[in-house]
Amino acid sequence: MTLQLGDTAPDFEAETTLGTIRFHDWLGDSWGVLFSHPKDYTPVCTTELGYTAKLKDEFAQRNTKVIGLSVDPLGDHHGWIEDIEATQGARPDFPMIADADRKVSTLYGMLHPNASATTTVRSVFIIDPQRKVRLTITYPASTGRNFNEILRVLDSLQLTDQHQVATPVNWEPGDDVIIVPTVSNEEARERFPEGWDEQRPYLRVVKQPQ
């Protein structure tokens, strides 16, 4: 299955390190980041999970829940958490799905047979409170993800939803943004009374709304 942006994220029930969850119920009214790991006790994954644990407050500020997945069984997950805490200085307190039957991996297209017949690729899905897929990124197993980029995308998506703006190349929170083309100048004057820099009719740059 290939999930595309705007699709409804598939619901599922799964065993995790924090008990059995029903995914949509677990999300509640939060945003979600679902990310897969090729295998337990692997070095790159260990660094990723430790760093994600250190970002707990950052995700909370964005009303976002994080959940990991690996195709190894639950017992391995619990043992691996001890290693993560010992080597990375942070203990993951978010759920990690034990997907030994590869049910969730298949639902979300995390298995790429030409890359590996037995393990998942490094997939990331950002899912909004309406259960819609808003971002997908797939990395090879050998490349660790940039979780600062995932936070940046969350900021961009949430800003867009609230203020009908888009974020330009290399945007960071606090930088100028762009008024989306679907917003007329009349509506823009109501939304942005301090005005904007109209570089072209389709390129209207404005200070980031607070």
Positive or negative, the CA dihedral 109, 114, 117, 121 is negative
CB of 52 closer than 8 Å to CB of 89 = no
Backbone angles phi and psi of 124, in degrees to 5: -130, 135
Crossing angle of the two packed helices 43-54 and 74-88, in degrees rounded to 10: 70
**Residue 45 bears catalytic tag:** yes
| CA distances to 2, 116, 149, 189 from 11, in Å | 15, 25, 26, 41
Residue in 9, 33, 34, 45 annotated catalytic? 45
Nearest CA to 24 among 45, 8, 1, 35? 8
Rg (CA), the chain: 19
State the DSSP H helix or E strand holding residue 67, giving kind and residue range, or none if neither. strand 64-70
Strand-pair category, 177-179 with 64-70: unpaired
Measured between alpha carbons, how far is 165 from 61 in angstroms, rounded to an integer? Answer: 21
Backbone angles phi and psi of 203, in degrees to 5: -125, 90
Active-site residue list: 45
